[in-house]
């Protein structure tokens, strides 16, 4: 399950041409949970990019360390923590990639998962609001995870759900029927994502060098010949 994001040099204006006056994108080559992350939401019919705390914190949560940074798609309608947010408060987290760790006999090897063309990805997520006073509040978020596709299942069993740009408005619209939303909670197309090994320096969340994204081996990606 993804616990780090790569957010660098995203051309959101090309991906979301109608993006309104928003806050600056929070960039990091190694963004970890319990930190602010930029999220796209639909407010009064306009796309807005705003910072959210990465770790879903409903008002009744007593221990911040228990705030989940990911929510399994299979539990969105059955767990009280996720149900209301899935019904009415959805967002996407724009990223240039995200990290997964492949279990090996003596260690875990980090991989950076990206679009095969290295273009931005929109990761499906939930958000909620916690009022600290009558006039102040904190908004928080959790990514939604789905089973990994056949191409990347050798690295990890789950990946964040990727929302297609053409489905963005329907995903963010609170009025979209649940059946339509659930239809989007599927593994990414085989040809969409690739992954390559990176330095184990990524294991340290304090490591913020651009070298986090430097490949140390070839990209794992789906080949057309694999379909036959």
Is the CB of residue 6 less than 8 Å from the CB of residue 213?
yes
| C-alpha span between 24 and 12 (Å, rounded) | 11
Tell me what percent of the residues of the chain surpass a pLDDT of 70.
95
Provide mean pLDDT across the span 32-39: 96
Least confident of 12-16, 69-73, 176-180: 12-16
What distance, in Å, lies between the first and last C-alpha atoms of the chain? Answer: 29
Provide mean pLDDT across the span 158-178: 95
Report pLDDT digits (tens) over 110-143: 999 999 999 999 999 999 988 776 677 789 999 9
Q: What is the mean pLDDT of the chain?
A: 91
**163 Cβ contact list (under 8 Å, min separation 6):** 92, 122, 123, 124, 171, 184
Report pLDDT digits (tens) over 79-104: 988 999 999 999 999 999 999 999 99
Reported confidence tier of residue 228, pLDDT bands at 50, 70, 90: very low
- B/e letters for 20-51, b = 16+ CB within 10 Å, e = fewer, are eebeeebebbbbbbeebbbbbbbeeeebbbbb
pLDDT of the residue at 61: 74
55 half-sphere exposure, CB direction, 13 A CA radius: 14
Spell out the domains of the chain, with CATH numbers in brackets: 4-227 (3.90.1680.10)
β-pairing, 36-43 vs 46-54, is antiparallel
Using H for helix, E for strand and C for coil, what is the string for the chain? CCCEEEECCCCHHHHCCCCCCCCCCCCEEEECCCCEEEEEEEECCEEEEEEEEECCCCCCCCCHHHCCCEEEHHHCCCCHHHHHHHHHCEEEEEECEEEEEEECCCCEEEEEEEECCCCCEEEEEEEEEEECCCCCEEEEEEEEEEECCCCCCCCCCEEECECCHHHHHHHHCCCCCHHHHHCCCCCCCCCCEEEEECCHHHHCCCCCCHHHHCCCCCCECCCHHHHC
| C-alpha span between 46 and 15 (Å, rounded) | 14
């Amino acid at each position: 399950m993804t616990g780090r994001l790569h957010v660098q040099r995203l051309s959101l204006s090309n991906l979301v041409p109608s993006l309104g006056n928003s806050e600056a994108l929070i960039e990091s080559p190694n963004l970890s949970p319990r930190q602010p992350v930029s999220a796209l939401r639909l407010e009064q019919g306009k796309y807005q990019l705003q910072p959210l705390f990465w770790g879903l914190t409903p008002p009744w949560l007593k221990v911040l360390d228990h705030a989940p940074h990911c929510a399994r798609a299979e539990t969105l309608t059955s767990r009280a923590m996720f149900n209301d947010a899935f019904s009415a408060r959805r967002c996407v987290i724009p990223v240039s990639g995200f990290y997964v760790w492949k279990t090996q006999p003596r260690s875990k090897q980090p991989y950076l998962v990206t679009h095969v063309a290295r273009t931005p990805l929109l990761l499906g997520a939930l958000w909620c609001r916690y009022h600290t006073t009558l006039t102040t509040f904190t908004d928080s978020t959790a990514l939604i995870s789905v089973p990994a596709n056949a191409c990347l299942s050798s690295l990890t069993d789950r990946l964040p759900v990727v929302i297609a740009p053409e489905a963005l408005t329907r995903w963010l619209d609170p009025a979209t029927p649940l059946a339509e939303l659930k239809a989007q909670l599927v593994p990414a197309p085989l040809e969409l994502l690739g992954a390559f090994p990176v330095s184990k320096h990524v294991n340290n969340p304090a490591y913020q060098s651009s070298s986090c994204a430097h490949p140390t081996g070839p990209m794992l990606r789906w080949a057309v010949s694999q379909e036959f």
